[in-house]
Structure 1
Amino acid sequence: MRSLLLTTAAVFVLAACDPATETPTNTTETTTPAVTETAATEEAIAEESARLNAWFDEKYEEVLQSSPMSMTQLGRKDRYDEIDDMSFEAQREQIDWRLATVDEMKSNFDYDLLDQEAKTSYDLWIYNAERAEASWDWRFHSYNFEQMGGSQAWIPQFLINFHKVDTEEDMVAYISRVSESARAIRQLLEQTQQSAEKGIRAPTFAYEGAIQQAKNVITGAPFTDGDDSALYADLKSEITTLEEAGNVTPERAEELMADAETALIEDFGPAYQAVIDWMSDDIENTAAETVAGDLPDGAAFYNYRLASSTTTDLTADEIHEIGLSEVARLREQMVAVKDSFGFEGSLEEFFVFLRENTDDERLYYPNTDEGRQGYIDDATADIENIKQHLPEYFGILPKADVIVKRVEPFREQAGAAQHYNSGTPDGSRPGIYYAHLLDMKAMPKRELEVIAYHEAIPGHHMQISIAQELTGIPQFRTQQFFNAYVEGWALYSEYLAKEMPGTYEDDLSEFGRLGSEIWRAIRLVVDTGLHAKGWTKQEAIDYFQANSAITDAQALAEVERYITWPGQATGYKIGMLKILELREKAKTELGDDFDIRGFHDAVLGGGGLPLEVLEHRIEAWIASVKDGTYVPAPMPTDTSEPAGATEDEPAE
């Protein structure tokens, strides 16, 4: 790949027009000064860059039109009654389309006549096509149904949380999507069966988790006796709201409800039952601890996963050693905080103290509805505090708000990782920080602050919302989710929050921050240990608990996550280390001219990027500060209204 974010192409001036090299023979003839040629060249660069950006937007619209679900997530209602084609044939068609667009782009645009941002977009378009093509070789290695983010949970989550019903037509589309989801689930099941024929199966615990979640989705009315299932309850609620608003008559509401029940009973339920039945039969063929190395071409597959997750060429051995070094460094800091807290035993004994004293109200919330609401309220308060200080650290601020919600019952797991779902680019739907609150003993108080900063502000919500709201770059750049960049920023945000007022004010919260960072360092060791060094599941759990206060439930959920998602967890720490490295480089080179707001705007102002591209972007920003061409965003004159605030509180 070309060197990225190159400086603007050199301006060539005709010697005949340079008065220093040639005297005109006709003194009455007006010569063309060099500045005019420079302007002409700059105009050509601007014109070619604008032409390419328009082409990108045209092609990205074609990408979106092939994915109704993506458009819905962006708040659009195109093809609103459809679910994506999940087949391998559709995947191959999209990859071939991407490769064809690369050829078209190379044939129609002059790379040397592009500005820096356009060159970045050009290279990213190629990068994405190459990454899509590389993924095709590993299509059978994906687990469509597993305990973490399997399709059995994602599809009902999408229907409930993303399909907005404002009109009768939206409701008809919702019902259509319930039936369409059955087709998608069957396509994914067929792929899973093909993988199994090749000896590629998720481990036993992943099957068990997927089966249980699938059962949860179709438990309750209208599938079984009992309370309404989550999807049925949402359908009923949407129809009732339409009727109460006068948008449909009572008779039409009854018809819609009957149609919804038919779609659930005749289409949706049988598709889910097919998944349950097949996986229940096939589970006897699974192994307890299948890792990447156990799969066909497993070593090559894991290398692909590491490269995809980190956007680097770091090897498993190199990542493992980075993890060991970071664990050792962070342990020293944790000992200091432990001593400040007043605990006289060893660090390992402090881990046990934090892990086992689940009835200590300093350490845990009660495992009650009041305790769960307390967690949500306190996390919300910490986020609100950060909002007040954002203008001191960022010039670019998000429009969209963020709220804290409990994970839906059908997919909630004790000890599972918290996560974030983005809002819409126009800010009409807020981002959501989801917390697993099934077992409050798996949610220690010391981790509440750091997780809120990671998932919401200044972490995922800040970065993703700003990316979605960016103007001046092609739209596809606003929807880039490179793991090392996205998760690296979120982990960096945990560290950044420490520099903001009113955060980590007690030893336990600071220990929680260090615990979160060492957690990600441990991931480097454990992920590579499992997939490249022959570690067992128990060895991974033991290493985790020897170096953190992680609970039994958390340790089990985390290690099972790494087994199911090879390499994914390595992006966090690698990305954070790169951002910190670039920040230190900028401070060293700029000295008193270093501005934290400018640095953060440079990191976030180009959308999600591979780490190499991010490095070139920061180098370009440093150069612009040095030569005086950088124009910082103005400080707000009134910060009483925090970023992301809306006139009305969003409904949960």
Structure 2
Amino acid sequence: MSESLARGVRGAAFVLSLALVACSPPARDPAPNAFDGAVADWTREILAESPELATARAAPESAAGRYRDRLDDRSPEAEERRRTAAIRREVELRAFRAEDLSPEQQLTHAVLRAQFANAAALAEYEFGTLDPLGGHAPYVLDQQASAFLTLPDFFDSRVTIEDLGDADDYLARLRQVAPALDGETQRSRNDADAGIVPPDFIIDRTIQLIERIISTPLQQQVYLAAFRRKLDAVAPPPAPATQPSPERRRAEALYTLAEAVVRDRIIPAHQRAAIWLRALRARAPHEAGVWRLPGGAAYYRAALRAQTTTDLSPEEIHRIGLARVAELNAETDRALRSLGLTEGTVGQRLSILTRDPRHQYPNTEEGRAALLADIQARVDAIMRRAPDWFDSLPRARLEVRRVPAVNEASSSGAYYEAPALDGSLPGVYYVNLRNMAEMTKIDVPTQDYHEAVPGHHFQIALAQEREGLPLLRRLMGFNAYAEGWGLYAEQLVDENNLYADDPIGRIGFLRWQLWRAARLVVDTGIHAKRWSREQAIDYIVATTGDAPGVAVSEVERYVAWPGQACGYELGRREIVRLREQARRALGRRFDLASFHDVVLLGGEVPLTVLAAEVESWIARRAR
């Protein structure tokens, strides 16, 4: 591993220790029960690294320790520990031979082998932020995943207060926000010293978002608004002309302390981040892709492997994207012509259609309420049809909510948040209502099917509810599997004729499919073919008919999250391929609902593992 690649591997002593492990004669393989113990140890370690993950999933304290009063440590030292641990876990896993394990353990071994190998490969790059369970972001401070954006949402939607003891924990965590922000600012400084500087437009957008938080009035800061709402629920305000209860007086005292923390610590930490980014802006390049980073080409290949769980090269993915765009372009052209839309390119006609006021909700609170009501109606309709397609249905509730105001500017159009493992928190489908022109009646139905049902809510909740699945497997994420399922869910709805009376909605379905195919082209274009930001935006607008503002947000997301956008279409392709393979092999014995159980009940897995599981199911069913 040469210095010229600047891959930033661990220090010489640690590298030597890994080499000695790799070169030593293999020890006697541990017994199967030792494997279960190792999985439990890795689970505890990962949850200890991320009390925020433990909170979001309501992990049992027996596995996670006490975490309700802690945030993730975002300091440079903690990030180094995470990288070192990721590399060590991959080495430890290699001590177990799959052939010595039970069938269920073998599946867990295969899943962990892929996840740990990807995490270890990305941990070799001493920049950005490593997620041991989900990939890597090259820039510590960006417009979509930095602490100044994720923590307000975490406090608002995931931190629960059931009594005043929980309120003490909330305040304890609040006191850790400023150190978390400062930790990321320091890591951004360290990365800049090593030549890792975000593009100028990423810095501009990030400064804009931070300054918006700084300028928000104190009482409206999410940390305080959420605290007030939760305190009022456990210690209600007194009735008129009555004295507050002792609990209420204590709640007010806690709120006053929280105000001081936000005013005197958290806001100044935001200001320090903004000052740093304004200074960094003078050194920022305009080139969008990670190809310009030290070792950037190898880094992008590692990111693609983690995000797609394939060994496809950037060039291969680019070609797959171009072919799929051409296929969908032809199908969309036919659908548009059936509506009498014949003039202009497909992208131009889609743009005209999405701008038509007849297909938009009013950009008012009434329009937003109507959209949310329509989404709920679609969710209810799918749940009535779901028993025809699925043997297993999730027990977890699904709620539809607006994206919090603080995150609207940086958030995607919609996203799903997993339920708690213990059922205490529902799955949540968040919809971004910043601009109703972006939430058209053409596009929203397919978005609902992807993010909510039968998409991510089925995929995540069913895996979490599977008895006997190791906790670590229930926590794990594989982008190509998850987003591939979401895209497959869109297709499943179309195949079952839910658009039969909604030709405009079916245009939206095709547009969403076209968009995901275009992502293959654009992501590889930016990071491997050295496309500019502007070239990528132009391609998205021309291909999908997106408004330029939407295309800008999407392209900047791909810039800050290399490879992630490629998971959708590659995952869908594999699930469909496996389904059709099963249909051909089994003939009359093929059952769609049983196939879906095979795909969903094992939790998120690499595409290679999914293929092996489906092929095993085909063999069993064919007997």
Which bin holds the TM-score, normalised by the shorter protein?
Answer: 0.7 to 0.9
- SS of 1:446 mapped into structure 2: coil
* Separation in structure 1 between the aligned mates of residue 89 and residue 559 of structure 2, nearest angstrom: 36
* Separation in structure 2 between the aligned mates of residue 192 and residue 574 of structure 1, nearest angstrom: 32
1:242 to 2:225 alignment: no
CA contact (8 A) 1:146 1:206 kept: yes
| Structure 2 match to 1:561 | 557
| Structure 1 match to 2:349 | 350
When residues 623 and 216 of structure 1 are mapped into structure 2, their CA distance, relative to the original with a 3 A threshold, is same
* Separation in structure 1 between the aligned mates of residue 78 and residue 443 of structure 2, nearest angstrom: 42
| Structure 1 match to 2:333 | 335
* Separation in structure 1 between the aligned mates of residue 174 and residue 360 of structure 2, nearest angstrom: 40
1:119 to 2:106 alignment: yes
* Separation in structure 1 between the aligned mates of residue 271 and residue 56 of structure 2, nearest angstrom: 27
Instruction: Letter of the 2:236 partner, please give it.
Output: E
Instruction: Letter of the 2:220 partner, please give it.
Output: D
Instruction: Letter of the 1:65 partner, please give it.
Output: A
When residues 98 and 569 of structure 1 are mapped into structure 2, their CA distance, relative to the original with a 3 A threshold, is closer
When residues 438 and 449 of structure 1 are mapped into structure 2, their CA distance, relative to the original with a 3 A threshold, is same
Give the drift of 1:61: 2.7
Counting only pairs closer than 5 Å after superposition, residues 122-201 of structure 1 correspond to structure 2 as: 122-141=109-128, 142-201=138-197
CA contact (8 A) 2:328 2:514 kept: yes
When residues 537 and 92 of structure 1 are mapped into structure 2, their CA distance, relative to the original with a 3 A threshold, is closer
- SS of 2:188 mapped into structure 1: helix
| Structure 1 match to 2:600 | 604
Q: CA RMSD in A?
A: 2.2
Counting only pairs closer than 5 Å after superposition, residues 504-583 of structure 1 correspond to structure 2 as: 505-583=501-579
- SS of 2:428 mapped into structure 1: strand
CA contact (8 A) 2:450 2:456 kept: yes
1:211-257: CA deviations, max 9, x gaps?
A: 222233333443xxxx5222221122222222218985232122112
Give the drift of 1:603: 0.6
Give the drift of 1:185: 1.2
1:297-346: CA deviations, max 9, x gaps?
A: 22111111111111111011100100011011111111111122122324
CA contact (8 A) 1:186 1:271 kept: yes
- SS of 1:445 mapped into structure 2: coil
CA contact (8 A) 2:84 2:123 kept: no
| Structure 1 match to 2:58 | 75
* Separation in structure 2 between the aligned mates of residue 111 and residue 561 of structure 1, nearest angstrom: 38
1:554-573: CA deviations, max 9, x gaps?
A: 11111111122121101110
1:424-457: CA deviations, max 9, x gaps?
A: 1232211111111111112221011100000001
Give the drift of 1:59: 3.6
- SS of 1:416 mapped into structure 2: coil
Give the drift of 1:281: 2.2
Give the drift of 1:106: 5.6
2:320 to 322, 330, 334: 322
Instruction: Letter of the 1:351 partner, please give it.
Output: L
- SS of 1:606 mapped into structure 2: coil
* Separation in structure 2 between the aligned mates of residue 443 and residue 110 of structure 1, nearest angstrom: 50
Give the drift of 1:385: 0.6
When residues 489 and 247 of structure 1 are mapped into structure 2, their CA distance, relative to the original with a 3 A threshold, is farther
Give the drift of 1:265: 2.1
1:493 to 489, 492, 500: 489
* Separation in structure 2 between the aligned mates of residue 220 and residue 567 of structure 1, nearest angstrom: 34
* Separation in structure 1 between the aligned mates of residue 500 and residue 430 of structure 2, nearest angstrom: 21
Does 241-250 or 297-306 show the bigger shift?
241-250
Q: TM-score scaled to structure 2, two decimals? A: 0.87
2:72 to 84, 95, 100: 84
| Structure 1 match to 2:220 | 228
* Separation in structure 1 between the aligned mates of residue 396 and residue 245 of structure 2, nearest angstrom: 28
Give the drift of 1:545: 2.1
* Separation in structure 1 between the aligned mates of residue 410 and residue 139 of structure 2, nearest angstrom: 21
Counting only pairs closer than 5 Å after superposition, residues 267-346 of structure 1 correspond to structure 2 as: 267-346=265-344
Does 267-276 or 171-180 show the bigger shift?
267-276
2:203 to 187, 202, 207: 207
Give the drift of 1:539: 1.9
CA contact (8 A) 2:288 2:527 kept: no
- SS of 1:286 mapped into structure 2: coil
* Separation in structure 2 between the aligned mates of residue 475 and residue 372 of structure 1, nearest angstrom: 38
CA contact (8 A) 1:400 1:425 kept: no
When residues 564 and 62 of structure 1 are mapped into structure 2, their CA distance, relative to the original with a 3 A threshold, is closer
Give the drift of 1:614: 0.8
Give the drift of 1:549: 2.2
| Structure index of larger Rg | 1
CA contact (8 A) 1:414 1:553 kept: no
CA contact (8 A) 2:174 2:261 kept: yes
1:317-376: CA deviations, max 9, x gaps?
A: 10010001101111111111112212232434422422443xx22x11111111111111
* Separation in structure 2 between the aligned mates of residue 542 and residue 415 of structure 1, nearest angstrom: 21
When residues 422 and 195 of structure 1 are mapped into structure 2, their CA distance, relative to the original with a 3 A threshold, is same
Give the drift of 1:181: 1.5
* Separation in structure 1 between the aligned mates of residue 209 and residue 318 of structure 2, nearest angstrom: 33
Q: Percent identity?
A: 33
Instruction: Letter of the 2:382 partner, please give it.
Output: I
When residues 340 and 201 of structure 1 are mapped into structure 2, their CA distance, relative to the original with a 3 A threshold, is same
Counting only pairs closer than 5 Å after superposition, residues 4-153 of structure 1 correspond to structure 2 as: 52-53=35-36, 55-76=38-59, 78-97=66-85, 100=88, 111-141=98-128, 142-153=138-149
Q: TM-score scaled to structure 1, two decimals? A: 0.84
Instruction: Letter of the 1:61 partner, please give it.
Output: R
2:254 to 256, 279, 287: 256
* Separation in structure 2 between the aligned mates of residue 137 and residue 499 of structure 1, nearest angstrom: 44
